Every structure is written in C-alpha cells, then in structure tokens.
Amino acid sequence: MKDVVLSAEETAAINVWSSDSQSLVREMLGKYPEKRSAVMPLLYVSMIENGYVTNEGMKTVSILTGLTAAQVQSVASFYSMYKREELGDYLISVCTSISCFLRGADDVLAAIEDESNVPDGETGDEGKFSVEHIECNGACGGAPVVLVNYEMIEGVTPDKGRELVKWLRDGGPDVVNTEEMQQLFGGERAFDWGVKELEGAILPIPAFGPYGSARGDS
Ligand code: FES
C-alpha cells in the first residue's frame, strides 16, 4: 500500500468526517494506483459516515477522486447497495428473482412487509426496519433467500419470515449473523459455503472485511 498525501482541499473535505473514516479514506486511496479507482470504497466510507450517500458525501468523494460530481453520482445511482436515504437498523432484503419467485418469494416478502408494517422499498417510521426486494443473490439453490444487513438466510418460508421480523423487533440484536439466522429461520441450503462468516454485521451497510460486516471486524 502506498503512502497517501492529501492536498489541502482533500484534507479540508474530510475534516468533517470522524477520524476512523479519515483513516479509511487514506487506506482506500493507498490501495489503488489511481485515486479515481477508489470511488466505490470511498462511497461506502461516506455511507458509513452519514448513514447513506448524501449530496455532500458525493461532493467529498468527487474531491478525493478527481472525478466530476456527475460521475460520482452515476456510480452511486447505478448500484442498488448505495442507499440515498436513511435506513432502519435492519435492512431486510428479499430476493424475488426467478428461482426465489418459483419457490414462493413473493409470499415471503408479503409476510415480512405485513409483520414489520413496512412496505417494500420503504423504511418504517420508528427506524427499525427497511424492507426491499432484490435481484438474484447468487444462491438460487437455497431459494427463497432473505438477507438481513446483507447476512444471508436460505430456504425461508412466510412463517419463518414473520418469526425473523419478531426476533429482530423483540430481541434487537446488535449483531446479526448468517449462521445463527440460518439455524433459526432458514431451511434447505444450497450447499455449505466454504468460508463461514462468523463476525456478523452491525450496520445495514456492506463495508470492509467479511462481506456485510462492520469495519474493524475482519
Ligand atoms: S433467484 Fe434468488 S438467489 Fe438467485
């Protein structure tokens, strides 16, 4: 990783961010030969900092990468995991692509919407849940697939979807973990995944280290 020297403008742009985020900025910029190549991880840093990708965050990433604000916005708006609005504590994502659809994903989504009282694509007033449908998550053999803060559960039924929402609401776990939720709410798995992700996620933001985990967990 190369040493990163920030210009006065770049330093001023990230001065409003936490020292952890400023360190992450330097770390991410140090991993790429060209600053512009760090646009995606830097957008995640801005998302960690603000909870979602704000206009100010995109301006900061524009300054850091040398890309235009329009170019940064085009990246942030293309990928659905960059959120432009504040999320609830738990982002529940239900795959409704063809394999999951054929195994009843629409009913799972309806049960989760009903139990959480949050419609697809929205965040509840109390800020506990965000619910969304997503495209194929690449685990079709375990359909239907549900993710909580990007931690995956396979073989979820409508009843198990309701139990999952109750468990999150009543227990309010700080960390959600694939292995635990699969045991409690999952059904048949496609196969045993080679790499078990043991740390879990504490934010509805995919970050660094193990997929879906909070920074510093790896
Ligand atoms: S269709 Fe749902 S994981 Fe592929």
Structural domains for the chain? 8-78 (1.10.10.1590), 90-185 (3.40.30.10)
Say what the pLDDT of residue 207 is.
Answer: 64
Looking only at the bridges linking them, the beta strands covering 129-134 and 90-95 are parallel
Reported confidence tier of residue 202, pLDDT bands at 50, 70, 90 = confident
Find out whether 140 and 103 touch, Cβ atoms under 8 Å: no
pLDDT tens, position by position, 156-181:
999 999 999 999 999 999 889 899 99
Sign of CA dihedral 110, 111, 117, 122: negative
Closest ligand 1 atom to Cα of 139: 3
97 alpha carbon to ligand 1 midpoint, in Å?
5
DSSP 203: S
Query: Residue 183 Cα, ligand 1 centroid: separation in angstroms?
Result: 20
Whether the predicted pLDDT of 67 surpasses 70: yes
Inform me whether the pLDDT recorded for 149 exceeds 70. Answer: yes
Residue to mutate (ligand 1; options 95, 154, 193; most atoms within 8 A of CB): 95
Q: How far does residue 95's CA lie from ligand 1's centre (Å)?
A: 6
Q: What span, in angstroms and rounded, lies between the C-alpha atoms of 97 and 24?
A: 35
What percent of the chain is modeled with pLDDT above 70? Answer: 92
* Residues framing ligand 1 (Cβ under 6 A): 95, 97-100, 136-140, 143, 145
173 to each of 13, 35, 55, 128, how far by Cα in Å? 34, 37, 31, 11
pLDDT tens for 20-48 read: 899 999 999 999 999 999 999 999 999 98
Which phi-psi region, left, alpha or beta, contains residue 216 (left: φ > 0; alpha: ψ -120 to 50)?
left
